[in-house]
Structure 1
Amino acid sequence: MARSLDGLVLSPVADQAPGQVGTRTRFTYHERGGRIWAEYEGGDIVHGRLVGTRAGDRLDFRYVQLKQDGRTSSGHCASAVVELPDGRIRLEETWEWESQEGSGTSVVEQSLS
């Protein structure tokens, strides 16, 4: 199992569609006893939260966010935790909106600093 996500800052490696998370979005993760949560903001996202669970190297969580245009949206995500050769953490994500149409995949990685 990869190391704890607690205190890690991750960001997307590519921009998604407008109004969604992008390379300027920063996620600050927390982890305790199989529970995970994070706050995120940046780019088109004013404020976002996610909450869920971790079992081994798999995350399962729900997210909700407030966008710059004042709209809110929510969805579900399942992620694989991968430790990169340089020791950083990557999350390979499969997500689906619950408040609107759409689904996809994305990758977020720990910052280089």
Structure 2
Amino acid sequence: MEGWHRVTLAIHRECGSYGSRLHQADDGTWVAYARWPDAETRERCAVPDSEGEAMMREAIAEYFPETRLRIADDLLAEPASEAPATGGPAGGGPAGGDRDGVGADADVDADVDAV
């Protein structure tokens, strides 16, 4: 998780991503997805934390193809008190619960990897 955390903070700070979420499924599989303002911003982003990227690569036992998603509708409304505090740029996580400027046209990259 430390590698994912480092890379997420770096892509938010250096590349303009909206941040990322990391989930663990009941079977132990980890799923991460990052939000981007658009595909062009995502494509221009080189990983700004090579050590964090290496940590992530070393933790992954099996890679699945990257999946590009487009939000069709968004009814997720988490109270700030329920969101895990991960120390992201805006407090509650990289997105900080602040939805200003996050439209339905934003891109989402989803990576599912088994660790």
- On whether the aligned pair clears a TM of 0.5, the verdict is no
Between Structure 1 and Structure 2, which shows a larger proportion of helix residues?
2
TM-score by length of 1: 0.29
Mark the structure with the bigger radius of gyration. Answer: 2
Q: TM-score, normalised by structure 2?
A: 0.28
Which protein is richer in strand relative to its size? 1
Indicate the structure whose relative CO is greater, using CA pairs within 8 Å and at least 6 residues apart.
2
